[in-house]
Every structure is written in structure tokens, then in C-alpha cells.
């Protein structure tokens, strides 16, 4: 699945949701029809999957970085995006962060974001977990950190069991 992004000319890509269907070694891109409002055109955001939801977080909407969060339940047609309104603390707006689903440990079931570039254009080094409660309520929790990688953006992250691995990125340091 692909949602949004920037074009080679520096503009924003469409806000269509694309799915790559691969059969017998041949891939065909399809547009997934979604009704009503969308998260809107953006780049530098993350698109994660936590069954049964696609989750869009953050990015830049053309003139500013945001910290909004949208979900799409891909098992219940007709498909419609919903903005997640969380109470309490929220991660600051950011672009070029990473997001990964943790499947075990205390963060099991959470989509965890790390880093990114803040509204001041400096790299960030914080981690936040998005969790869904049995009641259907969503919230963000600041991730506990036993050790912390240096602040960065344009990196990748993934989980190996309960451990988050952060790879690459930029730090604004010439070294």
C-alpha cells in the first residue's frame, strides 16, 4: 500500500490509496476506493498496518508539519478514513520519522514512532506508542527508553521481538 508522498517536481502526490497486487510474478497497481474525507495530501509521513487498520501519522501537508493520525479499517466496506482524536499528551508534529509495529513485550500491539525532523528543522530523538484500547479508544504513550539512539530523521526502524532497531538517517551533523 502507498499513500501520498511528493512528486519529482516538488509538488504533493495525490491522496489516493494504492495497492500493489502481485500475481504470478506480475504486479498491478490499483487505486483503492475510499469514501468521504482523506488524511489529505502529504509527504514525510508514515503508513503502518496494525490489523485491521492502516494508520497514517504526521508528515508535511505542504506548508507545515503535522501530528495528526488517521485510521482506515480495511476489512469493513465501504472503506472510510477516520481521524483519531486522542486525549492527553501527543507526539509533537514531525516529518521523516519512522514507524514500526511492535508484536511482543510491553509495547506489543503498538505502532511506535521514532525521531523525525521537528518544526524547527532539527532532528528529534523521542519515541511514542499509539495503542488501541478494548473500548475502541486510541491514545499515545511516551515510550520508555533504556537507551536512546541519537536524534535523526530519514531513517528506518523495525522490531525484532520487543527490541526496536533504528538504522541510518540524518542528524544535521557534518560528521
pLDDT band with cut points at 50, 70 and 90 for residue 132: very high
Residue pLDDT, tens place only, 134-150: 999 999 999 877 778 89
**If you average pLDDT over residues 89-104, what whole number do you get?**
97
CA-CA distance, 112 to 131, in Å (whole number)?
A: 9
Residue 8 DSSP code:
T
Q: What percent of the chain has pLDDT over 90?
A: 88
- Is 100:157 a contact under the CB 8 Å cutoff? yes
| Burial profile 56-74: b = 16 or more Cβ within 10 angstroms, e = fewer | bbbbbbeeebbbbbbbbeb
> Is pLDDT at 107 greater than 80 in this prediction?
yes
What global pTM score does this model have? 0.94
**Residue 38 in 3-state DSSP?**
coil
Residue pLDDT, tens place only, 12-69: 999 999 999 999 999 999 999 999 999 999 999 999 999 999 999 999 999 999 999 9
> Is pLDDT at 175 greater than 70 in this prediction?
no
CA-CA distance, 173 to 104, in Å (whole number)?
A: 34
Per-residue confidence (pLDDT) for residue 164, from 0 to 100: 93
Per-residue confidence (pLDDT) for residue 32, from 0 to 100: 95
- Is 80:92 a contact under the CB 8 Å cutoff? no
Residue 88 DSSP code:
S
Amino acid at each position: 500500500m502507498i499513500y501520498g508522498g511528493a512528486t519529482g517536481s516538488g509538488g504533493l502526490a495525490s491522496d489516493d490509496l494504492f495497492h500493489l497486487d502481485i500475481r504470478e510474478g506480475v504486479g498491478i497497481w490499483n487505486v483503492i476506493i475510499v469514501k468521504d474525507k482523506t488524511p489529505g495530501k502529504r509527504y514525510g509521513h508514515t503508513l503502518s498496518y496494525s490489523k485491521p487498520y492502516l494508520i497514517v501519522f504526521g508528515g508535511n501537508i505542504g506548508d507545515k508539519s503535522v501530528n495528526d493520525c488517521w485510521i482506515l479499517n480495511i476489512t469493513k466496506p465501504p472503506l472510510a478514513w477516520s481521524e483519531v482524536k486522542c486525549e492527553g499528551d501527543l507526539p509533537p508534529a514531525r516529518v521523516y520519522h519512522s514507524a514500526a509495529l511492535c508484536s511482543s513485550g510491553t509495547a506489543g500491539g503498538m505502532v511506535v514512532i521514532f525521531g523525525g525532523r521537528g518544526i524547527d528543522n532539527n532532528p528529534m530523538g523521542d519515541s511514542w506508542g499509539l495503542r488501541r484500547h478494548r473500548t475502541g479508544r486510541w491514545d499515545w504513550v511516551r515510550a520508555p527508553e533504556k537507551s536512546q539512539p541519537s536524534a535523526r530523521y530519514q531513517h528506518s526502524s523495525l522490531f525484532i521481538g520487543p527490541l526496536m532497531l533504528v538504522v541510518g538517517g540524518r542528524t544535521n551533523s557534518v560528521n
